[in-house]
Every structure is written in structure tokens, then in C-alpha cells.
């Protein structure tokens, strides 16, 4: 866990743009309330006037948050020696699309996450959307590659859907199969209480620009703090 980050005063982040960012404990409840709102909008049955009122109020809040904002996307930032993927749609503390996954690392290099997927992640009735499974597996396989010391971008990703993944409590796991130069071959799966539902294999490749001395340093800086 990132206790240092929780306790630290806001710092200027380095990497892409030098702008301050918030404390995680300030942002997390805001993002979580938006996750609730996303879920509620999928499932609500309130009357039309209530929907219209919610729309007006939400548009006004969004406008207030937009009154001062970074011009582009969040990027990958480094603050106090620790990387921030706060905009990331799988793990980001600023991103209500993210369930979010909290990635755990064990000493063997295996990475895992336990999480809950609700109505906003549904494809076929009662089941996780196949593309959502792919989204989450891409992230966790990439995290396993990074845990091996060679963080990379996805080169190929292959998914085998063994059966439907029910909405609810789920787990994802990933591990490195082998490393060849700048390529890390990773495998993993998504599981419910009865075992694997989707199996994944991926090749993650260190970007060309990050292969030199200087590039590697900058690229590594943008990885989780265990690799900084």
C-alpha cells in the first residue's frame, strides 16, 4: 500500500507536465461516488422528472470541475518517486470507469487482483461483457510484465472464453511465462468461485524509444514504485 502517498502533502508531479495533484484520500471518495452514479443510471427506475433534475445537476457539477483542468489527458506521472496511473481506466483513482482493480504483487512475481463487477460491466444478461474481461486482463498481464522488470506495451493479446463470467466477485491473476529480449510473454486468467472463466496470453514489448539508457530511465520512472 502507498501510505507515504496518503500522508504526503500534494506535490508537484514530474514526467509530463509539472502540475500539482491531490491526495488520494481526497480523490478516491469523489471517483467512487461517480461509480455509484454510473451504476445507478444503468439500473434506476425513478420518474422522468427525477432523471431531468439529475441531468441538470450533474451537468452543473461537471462544468464546475471543468472550470480549471489540464488541457489534455492525465498521462503517467511520477510524484515523490512513485508512479501515478490515476487516469487509467482499470486501476485509476481518478477514473470512474475503473472497477477499480488494486493489483497485488507476491514474491514469486505473480500478480493478482480481487474485485467486484456490477451492472455497468454487463454484456450478455447477468454475465461480464467479453470485452470488459479483455480490458481487465490486458491491464493485469501488463502489470505482470512490468513486475518482471521490463514494462511494455501490448504487442499481442489472445483470449479464450471457457464459459460465461458471472457478474459479482471475481479474481484475476497473471504471471510471466518467459522473457526474450524486449519481449515478455505473459499468461493469466479471470476466475469466479468455480475457477477460470477466461484465459489470456499476451506479449508485452518495451517501446523502441525506451530501449536506450536515457529512455529506459524515463520509461521505468513511469512504472509502479517497486520499479522506480
Q: Which of residues 139-178 bind its own copies (CB under 8 A)?
A: 139, 142, 153-161, 164, 167
Give the nearest distance from C-beta 106 to its own copies in angstroms. Answer: 22
Size of the site for its own copies (CB under 8 A): 87
Which residue, 139 or 184, is less far from its own copies as judged by CB? 139
Which residue, 148 or 197, is less far from its own copies as judged by CB? 197
- Could you say whether residue 197 binds its own copies (CB under 8 A)? no
DSSP code for 192: E
Give the nearest distance from C-beta 80 to its own copies in angstroms. Answer: 18
Give the nearest distance from C-beta 105 to its own copies in angstroms. Answer: 19
Grid coordinates of 12: 508537484
Which of 122, 182, 192, 225 touches its own copies (CB under 8 A)? 122
Sign of CA dihedral 46, 52, 56, 62: positive
Q: Which stretch binds its own copies (CB under 8 A): 64-72, 104-112, 173-181, 188-196?
A: 64-72
DSSP string of 125-142, one letter each residue: TTBB-HHHHHHHHHHHHH
N- to C-terminal Cα separation, the chain? 15
Question: In sequence order, what are the residues at sequence separation of 6 or more whose Cβ sits closer than 8 angstroms to the Cβ of residue 64?
Answer: none
- Could you say whether residue 108 binds its own copies (CB under 8 A)? no
Which of 61, 102, 169, 228 touches its own copies (CB under 8 A)? 61
- Could you say whether residue 208 binds its own copies (CB under 8 A)? no
d(CA 135, CA 160): 14
Which residue, 45 or 107, is less far from its own copies as judged by CB? 45
- Could you say whether residue 216 binds its own copies (CB under 8 A)? no
Q: What angle do CA 111, 116, 119 make, to 5 degrees?
A: 140
Give the nearest distance from C-beta 53 to its own copies in angstroms. Answer: 8
Q: Are 74 and 195 in contact (CB under 8 A)?
A: no
- Could you say whether residue 82 binds its own copies (CB under 8 A)? no
Which of 2, 6, 52, 226 touches its own copies (CB under 8 A)? 52
**Residue 58, CA distances (Å) to 38, 46, 90, 112, 120 in order:** 12, 16, 23, 35, 18
Amino acid at each position: 500500500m502507498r501510505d507515504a502517498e496518503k500522508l504526503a502533502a500534494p506535490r508537484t508531479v514530474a514526467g509530463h507536465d509539472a502540475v500539482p495533484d491531490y491526495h488520494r484520500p481526497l480523490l478516491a471518495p469523489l471517483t467512487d461516488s461517480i461509480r455509484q452514479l454510473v451504476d445507478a443510471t444503468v439500473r434506476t427506475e425513478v420518474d422522468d422528472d427525477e432523471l431531468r433534475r439529475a441531468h441538470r445537476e450533474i451537468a452543473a457539477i461537471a462544468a464546475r470541475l471543468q472550470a480549471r483542468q489540464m488541457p489534455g489527458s492525465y498521462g503517467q506521472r511520477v510524484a515523490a518517486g512513485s508512479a501515478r496511473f490515476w487516469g487509467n481506466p482499470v486501476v485509476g483513482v481518478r477514473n470512474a470507469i475503473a472497477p477499480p482493480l488494486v493489483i497485488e504483487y507476491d514474491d514469486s512475481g505473480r500478480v493478482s487482483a480481487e474485485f467486484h463487477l456490477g451492472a455497468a460491466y454487463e454484456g450478455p444478461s447477468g454475465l461480464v461483457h467479453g470485452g470488459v474481461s479483455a480490458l481487465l486482463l490486458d491491464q493485469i498481464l501488463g502489470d505482470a510484465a512490468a513486475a518482471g522488470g521490463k514494462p511494455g506495451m501490448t504487442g499481442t493479446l489472445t483470449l479464450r472464453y471457457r464459459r460465461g463470467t458471472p457478474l459479482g466477485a471475481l479474481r484475476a491473476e497473471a504471471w510471466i511465462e518467459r522473457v526474450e529480449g524486449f519481449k515478455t510473454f505473459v499468461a493469466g486468467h479471470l476466475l469466479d468461485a468455480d475457477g477460470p472463466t477466461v484465459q489470456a496470453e499476451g506479449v508485452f514489448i518495451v517501446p523502441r524509444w525506451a530501449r536506450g539508457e536515457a529512455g529506459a530511465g524515463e520509461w521505468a520512472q513511469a512504472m509502479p514504485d517497486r520499479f522506480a
